[in-house]
Structure 1
Amino acid sequence: MSFFSRFLFLFSLLLATVSQAEELHVQVFYDGAPLKGVEVRVDEDSLGATDTRGLISGEVQPGSRKVHLVDDQFALPIDVNIVAGSEGELSVNFTSVEGDSPDISFESFTEADPGATGFLVGRVTDSSGSPLAGARVATLGRVSVVDSDGIFSLEVPRGLYDVRTSAPGYETAIVKAVRVLAGSGVTLGLALDEVAEETLGEAETPQLTLEEVVVTGVFKVEDSADDVKRYATTIVNAIDVEMLERFGDGDVASALQRVSGVSVQDDKYATVRGLDGRYISATLNGLLLPSTDPQRRDVQLDLFPTNILGGIEISKAFTADQLATTSGGSIKIRTKGLPQEFTFEVSAGVGATSGVTGSDVLSHKGSSTDYLGYDSGLRELVGFVLDQTEGGRDLLVCDPGISEDICTDRIVAAGVAVAMEDDYNVKLWSAIPGASLGVSIGDKRPLDAGAEWGYYVAANYGYGNGDRGLAVLSNPIGDEGSYQRTNETIDASLYAVTGIEWGIADEFLSKTTVIRSTDIQTRQDRFTDNAEEVDRFKTILQFVERQFASQSFSGHHEFDFGGDEAHILDWNVGLAQTLRDEPDRRQYSYFNEFLSLSAFERRWSELTEDTIDFSLDYSIPVNWSAAASTQFSAGVLSSEKERDVELYRFSLRPGSRFSQIDGLSLFSGADLEADVLSYGNFAIDAFRIAPTTTSTDSYTSDEKTEAYYLNTQTEIGENLTFLVGARYEEFTQDLAYPNSLVSTSELTTDGWYPSANITYRLGDDWQVRAAYSETVSYPGLIERSESLSFDPLTDDPIFGNPNLVSSTVNNFDIRVEYYLSPEESVSLAVFSKEIDNPIERALPDASGSATTGITFRNQVSADLEGIEFEFSKDVIDNASWYAFLSGNVSYIDSSVSLGADSLRLEGADAQGRALQGQSEYLANVQFGLDHYPSEQKLTLLLNYFDDRIFRIARGAATGPEIESGRYLLDLTYEKRFGNATSLEVVVKNILNDEIEWVQNSNVIESFQVGTSFNVKLNYEFL
């Protein structure tokens, strides 16, 4: 490809132009303060001792070298690779915590690395110590005006600087030779003297050259959630690795509910600012995420374990470099990158749930490999069955002599039934504890020409189970009774990343991800169906495998064309496949204790979705003046998805000898396997398998998204940032039914989507952000499909609507942020969204059993407004203790203008109701307490979501089904034992509130899931 040819040429040119340099800078700190007097040796040669800044510099020959740090208290050897043509920077930070290893970082840079920056910060006072507001601190054309507290801050490229400080009526001070290392900050303390009276009339202000200045501290610019939020050019929330580990959330879905304005439904699906998955874009390492749910376009976020993640970023304002479906927000999931040093860690854990572990729960016979999350083939639908039933659509038992093409012999028909496993019975077993195992290993090693190669591999396995106890059904116009549902879950994942880093910040990475999650469910319902006036006893046996596999290649490259800053090229190529396999789902019911043949069903379904993605982004910085610059960014995206869904359904019907069956055996007390649906009864033609697959149950689809964008980010001074851009995106969707004469259904949507974001900084502590954008929401495949599908939770029919059109959204956002410190902040956000043609789940215009189903319609419009408040505050921060309190509260209000059909079916009172799945109030509170001497951490996490519409209902007198709001309280505890071992305890759902669904103020369903306890031991090989 021409792109890769150009890339290889530029890469070779970059390596060929490297020039030689041999300078090494070593900076040593103790708890962040510079450490003076540490002798530094390189191999056998002494470089000298660190000065008051903790710094020593010297000339060193290129190649692999061993640096020794020697003091009265320690002797530390460090291996480094001095690269010809670059300067080396070694930073070592010792801590006072007993047993802690020092934090070591080493990097190589060329003389003019524009992307390698650090900070000059400090305080300017007069001779009495009072802040000198309005003073100017400058170096190399960069100026910072001192604020009312005397504080200044300058971001500069790494290097050696003379820093000039001036103020009217005061002597100008020049600090000579201040060394700034990449990714670090140097803190200066400056005091200016007033100009003497005899010099006030002179033309020039006197200058005072300070030969030495005290470095009072150091800080590292981290990729933390606070930094991501503060320095983003749009409205962003973030969860970094430290937060993921501290909060104890096992997957992305549970982690997201900690973010303001975000709630999670069914433990899988995110709702951002009141908008569900159709209005949310989700990416993994910059590539689009396919769905494993055949009924929804949402990504099932519980599939992604947090222990392979490098962080999660939730952007709530659309920018042109994001997908045009970013209306509610975008969820950017990033997996771990290359480690900085060798790491090898193993972990093992056990878990228990109150009311479940050790109790009798439901189960059914499975295959010998279920514990691995794979079916051994026991549930497989053999080809013989499909051959004899025309793909599960027809089986006519009659004499083949009449018509060989139409008739199937009775013996052959019996063979079809016998080819299916006769496992129907439910058994009780004592639930065992959950368990988890994990192992990871990684390293980074030097290569020639200053490059480094690294790798990281992680594998995880987990088993868990859950039970709803005796859940209560109490709907006077629906079902009244109870049910028990037991779930077993097997999770497994394998993640690997390898790559090369070189030059300024160039890298090439390969990331491989395989994630599997298997759910085994056994459910029994015993209730009275008030609508049909019949007592029912229903059993469901289900086994579902979900798998996500991806392979991505990415590159980040910086090119120096002689300007002030580098051009940046980022590219991504990815292949992904999602799989949802549900082999042999069995459901049968007794009506008034009598087996219903028509309600009997065995179902096989499989969804496979293949995705190919490519993206390319290029940015060019332009400096208009010392106070104004613009970064121009452009990019392209191409994403293709191919989905194949196969669904086969079979029921029962009486055979020619059905009358020979003892009527008592059809009652619920009989053994279904031995006395009723035995192979023998099929062989004598007492029962027959009845294919019920429709011609539109199986379908294929193609989705294609092609886009390109242009962004401009303009910085005016230190206080104002404009991010303005536009995106063109074309979306096509084709649906075809291989077993049907139904014509292919096609949808094409394209358009330009503008965005504008403004950030204004009022000093160093205040920021105001405002954003406007136009976005789109596309219909999902199942929503437009003419295939009849079934809700996996309720088993109600789902009718697609091929006439759906895309929705358009206007978004308005404003947020005010105040930073008390780098880790402490308060923010208030206000947002509004106007949606034309919103797609919603709707009631089918049908009769009979179809009235229990759902369909989809474009409503007229929807309006949504909300307020978000966030805070984080350090409560205690001293040498022994650290405590923080953080949280957020969201208020969201929405109103839907219904179309004529929906208004007629839902009733006039439904006009202006809220969006489905939207809570009016959301809240989170986190309290953390650390004890440094004993290396312990304790965190309490409280989450609340308000009532939300679970499902709309027919008729004004009925009212929608509401999922009641509830509180979730979790606790995490961590204790370290030296450098290698740590113990983690996670307690989830401490309050164990009743989970309830309400209709017309009546609780129609309720259950509890228990409190879970998990203990994990980690060991790191040092």
Structure 2
Amino acid sequence: MRYFSLLLLFFIFSFQVFAQNTGTIKGQIKDETEQEAVIGASVFLKGTSMGSTTDVDGNFQINNVPEGTYTLVITYVGYDTKEIPDLKVEVGKILLINTSIVPENQAIGQIEVVGKRETGTTIAVIAEIKEAEQVAVGIGSEQIQKTQDRDAAQVLRRIPGVSLQENRFAIIRGLPQRYNAVMINDIYAPSTEVDTRAFSFDLVPSNMIDRVLIFKSGAGELPGDFAGGAVKIYTKTAPEENFTNISIGYGFRTNTTLEEVQDYQGSKTDFLGFDNGLRRLPTNFPSFISNSLSPAERAKLAHGLTSDLGFATKRILPDVRLSYNMGRRFRVGSWQVANLTAINYGNTHQYYDAEFNNFLLVQPFPPPKSASFVDATYTNFYRLGVLHNWSFVKNADNRIELKTLFNQQSFKQSLIRRGGDIINTVDNENYSQRFEQKSFFGSQLVGKHNIGVKTNFTWVAGFNYTNKSEPDWRRFVTNRRTGATLPDGSPVPFQLSIPGSGNLFDGRYFSKLNEFAYSTSVAFERKLNENTEEKLTPKIRFGLYTELKNRDFKARYFSYLVSPTADPANIQAIKEQPLSQIFRPENVDGINGLTFVEGTSSVDSYDASNLLAAPYASAYIPFKKFSITPGVRLEYNIQEINTLNLSGTPEGARNPILSILPSLNMTYNLTDKSLVRLAYYRSVNRPEFRELAPFIFYDFNLNASITGNSRLKNATIDNADLRWEYYPSASELISLGAFYKNFANPIENYLQNNTGGAGTNNFAYSFGNAVQAQAYGVEAEVRKQFYGSSSKFFQNLGVVANASYLISKVNVGRQVDLGPSVGVVDVDAPENRTLVGQSPYLVNFGLYYNDEDKGWQINALYNVAGPRLFLVGNFNTPSFYENQRHIIDLNIAKTFAEKFELRFTMQDILNQKFRIVQDANLNAKIDGEDGDIKAFRPGSNYFFIFTYKF
């Protein structure tokens, strides 16, 4: 806690010091024709970062302006930019500027010009946070552009209380990704993962984002199924002016670029993010290969698959990123029309050697290794993203928007695992050839209408489609006896390990997931009087959100077995051949060689649906310095999943549940610049489709299998928040908050007893309901600009810092129901532990230097998330923890002639080791007595990016 105190004291002191020797500029902006207030106009001092936005009355105020002469610039969409030069600011005095701005093309007669409030600037985001009735944090496109984060996942880690898992899933307030609700343009985002409820934030390119807001307290109009945060991503909509720009970037990653690696042959369209059919099952392939077919008949079916599974040496080229952005504004009759199009492409690479170990859990610690491997891992990532948005504005009372986002993303991975089983004295050389592709398409049609002066009506119709496919994931094991030699003294060759039956661990795996989601929402807001001050106007709100989601998932897997009639000598010769030859047709004949078998069972596919109907109502009740926002949301949810168990008997779940979710947000304004918030809300957490399905998923990289549980129950969470906020100026913020959460029946993963120990090959996990959990913590944030400094350097300098201290405790109980496949089992683990994914502390710090006169921009960024529980273990196989990594990024940009920009970015400069550690001594922390289960250095990334503005 002392770090929070020192941080706040330092910045409060700095606010006071730099507020000396300054003056203030304030005033009001009106429309010159109508003489009405212009709301949301940007007002700033040319050549500086000092500025503000106009409020509902058109008023603005810029504080802490150093003594001197300035030019005031006023911009607003649909209006001509206005500059007022030679404004002299004196120490301790207020300069009053009341002026008006002129609509563009005013001579066009009766056509009404309608502007749109800027929402992506730092000033606009801070204003939105201040005006919000809930506890909220956020980041806008202006700050995102400075960080050069390439996707929404990297953007999120700059926000208070947020960390990442696997560089793509958000953990908010220490709660796993399952406790987050994600919306894109106010429509639920789908779960992108097969085995858990999670949205992969790396699907959304950062340059398509207008702003990201995270609501940490509930409300009637917010989703009811979150406890960490409700993440709202808003994509860019309408440009302020016509523009076109292109950018190209080339990158170098340490330990990767220009290195020689082993890779396998992919399809000719891999670079576009999808397989052209090379890896898929043939169209004439049977829906199931029955064992009633003869070995020769089954072997013939295998000939339709690629037989050359060998590796070849490849030199890795530099990373490439391309983008094209265009915005247009024009008129069609009496309509203002705007279009924004953004296209992004990335082709990047990563190579590392990862340690992979198992341990004998005996004293003394650290324990000796039972198995040790090195995973030579090469991954080629491909991304193609398109944003295409339209807005149609009739007048100030009617606006229609069409927002479309498409993303195609894939990776092609070659993994060679070399090492050995020390206990059984066996050397291994195992292989994985993997290609995974994801498609995401989301579209929303939005209407915003004012009915008179008191009523607002908004409607949204949305459609989302998600596809995830893994065509032909090949996994094979080769081994030899440790130390065994040939007569000439050379090591015996590795030979293919052929299983006795079809299984998930050896062979070829195919899976495909499709999910369709259809959403609608309507929202009404009614003002109960016409108070000239928006903050003192009481309001009532009510609305309805509906969503129908359908998912189907299918997986198939195949193995190569020894033909019953094969000559053992011939089989031995085949097993010693290289992977490029073993599976040739002459070796897979079903007679004297190998045959082909399908191991797929009835549990390896499922279809599911979810229907959500959520009416809500809330009210905004203001007083002079105090406001209260009560609300209630009813969520009627029907979740249904259909599958078969191992015996072929139908097994599934149908869970119609009505949840009544009250909320209460209160705000007390201490002064015009500071306030206190207090909030309570109840929320739910539902099982995801995959968690309910008895399907078994095998993760080669973690050497773990995961099974669903159709008997999972909903979790219920009671949440409380307290936060103090201080806004020294329109672009500055200090906040300090605390929260508490109580969970009933939280859904957790459990390591099945007697798996993952010494001498076993893999870990086995299931899902179950714990008894109860608690989470609480404190958060602090500071955004500081040194406008009041007499130094030009400090005037261009900004600081963003935030930190969180988090604590959680889960009571797992002594028994847990892991579903029909596993049953009710004793919990062979400590009865209390932390939540999975919860770091005890999070710290973000950023220095932003921006000299607009000279065109220089320099940013230094730091991020760390403390050690956290990665996978839950038991007494036989202790839990895994992910160690902290200190990450430092540096960005340098120079603008030339207002058209060219050259940017150099350095990401993860420290390149600290990523470590998954097994808690051998069961003390719930990482220390010298624990061993690395997996460890590698991901590499530092250096990029040159050139941008040209037409």
Interval of TM-score (by shorter of Structure 1 and Structure 2): 0.7 to 0.9
Q: Name the stretch that deviates more: 586-595 or 217-226.
A: 217-226
Paired with 1:632 and 1:673, the residues of 2 have a C-alpha distance of 69
Q: CA deviation at 1:748?
A: 2.1
- Give 2:866's aligned residue: 946
1:923 is matched with which residue: 818, 839, 843? Answer: 843
- Give 1:968's aligned residue: 887
- Give 2:248's aligned residue: 348
**Contact 1:473-1:1006 within 8 A present in 2 as well:** no
**What does 1:269-308 align with in structure 2 at a 5 Å threshold?**
269-308=169-208
- Is 1:464 equivalent to 2:384 in the alignment? no
Report the CA distance shift for 1:332/1:88 in structure 2 as closer, same or farther (over 3 A). Answer: closer
Equivalent position SS for 1:774: strand
**What does 1:937-1016 align with in structure 2 at a 5 Å threshold?**
937-955=857-875, 958-999=877-918, 1000=920, 1001-1016=930-945
Q: CA deviation at 1:949?
A: 0.8
Q: CA deviation at 1:340?
A: 2.1
- Is 1:434 equivalent to 2:354 in the alignment? no
Paired with 2:39 and 2:781, the residues of 1 have a C-alpha distance of 38
Q: CA deviation at 1:954?
A: 2.9
Paired with 2:524 and 2:182, the residues of 1 have a C-alpha distance of 22
Aligned partner of 1:974: which letter? A
Aligned partner of 1:587: which letter? R
Q: CA deviation at 1:850?
A: 9.1
- Give 1:620's aligned residue: 526
Unaligned runs of 5+ in 2: 1-22, 64-80, 102-115, 360-367, 481-493, 500-504, 818-823, 921-929
Report the CA distance shift for 1:189/1:851 in structure 2 as closer, same or farther (over 3 A). Answer: closer
Paired with 2:357 and 2:541, the residues of 1 have a C-alpha distance of 56
Q: CA deviation at 1:829?
A: 0.6
Equivalent position SS for 1:820: coil
Q: How does the TM-score come out when normalised to structure 1?
A: 0.76
1:518 is matched with which residue: 410, 421, 436? Answer: 410
**What does 1:76-475 align with in structure 2 at a 5 Å threshold?**
117-119=57-59, 214-215=96-97, 222-223=118-119, 224-387=124-287, 391-392=288-289, 394-396=290-292, 408-449=293-334, 451-471=335-355, 473=357, 475=359
- Give 1:805's aligned residue: 713
Paired with 1:530 and 1:778, the residues of 2 have a C-alpha distance of 43
Aligned partner of 1:570: which letter? T
- Is 1:757 equivalent to 2:678 in the alignment? no
**Contact 1:818-1:827 within 8 A present in 2 as well:** yes
**Contact 1:506-1:557 within 8 A present in 2 as well:** yes
Q: CA deviation at 1:505?
A: 4.8
- Give 1:857's aligned residue: 768
Aligned partner of 1:378: which letter? L
**What does 1:746-785 align with in structure 2 at a 5 Å threshold?**
746-785=654-693
Q: CA deviation at 1:867?
A: 0.6
1:527-585: CA deviations, max 9, x gaps?
A: 3335766432211000011010122101111121xxxx431111110111100011000
Report the CA distance shift for 1:1011/1:515 in structure 2 as closer, same or farther (over 3 A). Answer: same
**Contact 2:25-2:95 within 8 A present in 1 as well:** no
- Give 1:637's aligned residue: 545
Aligned partner of 2:600: which letter? T
Q: CA deviation at 1:499?
A: 2.3
**Contact 1:906-1:952 within 8 A present in 2 as well:** no
1:900 is matched with which residue: 810, 814, 838? Answer: 814
Paired with 1:909 and 1:53, the residues of 2 have a C-alpha distance of 65
1:485-512: CA deviations, max 9, x gaps?
A: 1110010011111121132253101112
Q: How does the TM-score come out when normalised to structure 2?
A: 0.82
Aligned partner of 1:282: which letter? V
**Contact 1:355-1:469 within 8 A present in 2 as well:** no
Equivalent position SS for 2:202: helix
Paired with 1:612 and 1:952, the residues of 2 have a C-alpha distance of 35
Report the CA distance shift for 1:908/1:410 in structure 2 as closer, same or farther (over 3 A). Answer: closer
Equivalent position SS for 2:255: coil
**Contact 2:354-2:934 within 8 A present in 1 as well:** no
Report the CA distance shift for 1:850/1:696 in structure 2 as closer, same or farther (over 3 A). Answer: farther
**Contact 1:756-1:772 within 8 A present in 2 as well:** yes
**Contact 2:753-2:828 within 8 A present in 1 as well:** no
Q: CA deviation at 1:350?
A: 0.9
Unaligned runs of 5+ in 1: 1-30, 35-51, 60-84, 106-113, 124-180, 191-211, 397-407
Paired with 2:236 and 2:373, the residues of 1 have a C-alpha distance of 48
Q: CA deviation at 1:339?
A: 1.1
Paired with 1:213 and 1:439, the residues of 2 have a C-alpha distance of 43
**Contact 2:665-2:680 within 8 A present in 1 as well:** yes
**Contact 1:459-1:493 within 8 A present in 2 as well:** yes
Paired with 1:505 and 1:983, the residues of 2 have a C-alpha distance of 42
**Contact 2:742-2:773 within 8 A present in 1 as well:** yes
Equivalent position SS for 2:322: strand
When Rg is computed on C-alpha atoms for both structures, the one with the higher figure is 1
Report the CA distance shift for 1:90/1:787 in structure 2 as closer, same or farther (over 3 A). Answer: closer
Report the CA distance shift for 1:291/1:383 in structure 2 as closer, same or farther (over 3 A). Answer: same
- Give 2:77's aligned residue: none
1:268-327: CA deviations, max 9, x gaps?
A: 111111111221100010111112211111111111111111111111111111111121
- Give 2:830's aligned residue: 910
- Give 2:379's aligned residue: 487
1:664-716: CA deviations, max 9, x gaps?
A: 54566x31222x22111113631011110011101111111110100111121
- Give 2:497's aligned residue: 596
1:631-660: CA deviations, max 9, x gaps?
A: 101110110111011111101111144326
**Contact 2:383-2:408 within 8 A present in 1 as well:** yes
1:501 is matched with which residue: 374, 393, 400? Answer: 393
Report the CA distance shift for 1:336/1:120 in structure 2 as closer, same or farther (over 3 A). Answer: closer
Equivalent position SS for 1:259: coil
- Give 2:603's aligned residue: 696
- Is 1:706 equivalent to 2:613 in the alignment? yes
- Give 1:610's aligned residue: 516
| Equivalences, count | 833
- Give 1:791's aligned residue: 699
**Contact 1:292-1:607 within 8 A present in 2 as well:** no
Equivalent position SS for 1:811: strand
Report the CA distance shift for 1:414/1:447 in structure 2 as closer, same or farther (over 3 A). Answer: closer
Q: CA deviation at 1:428?
A: 2.3
Same amino acid, percent of matched pairs: 24
Paired with 2:370 and 2:568, the residues of 1 have a C-alpha distance of 36
Q: CA deviation at 1:897?
A: 0.6
Q: CA deviation at 1:225?
A: 2.3
Q: CA RMSD in A?
A: 3.4
Aligned partner of 2:297: which letter? V
- Is 1:545 equivalent to 2:430 in the alignment? no
Q: CA deviation at 1:385?
A: 2.7
**Contact 1:729-1:750 within 8 A present in 2 as well:** yes
Report the CA distance shift for 1:905/1:986 in structure 2 as closer, same or farther (over 3 A). Answer: farther
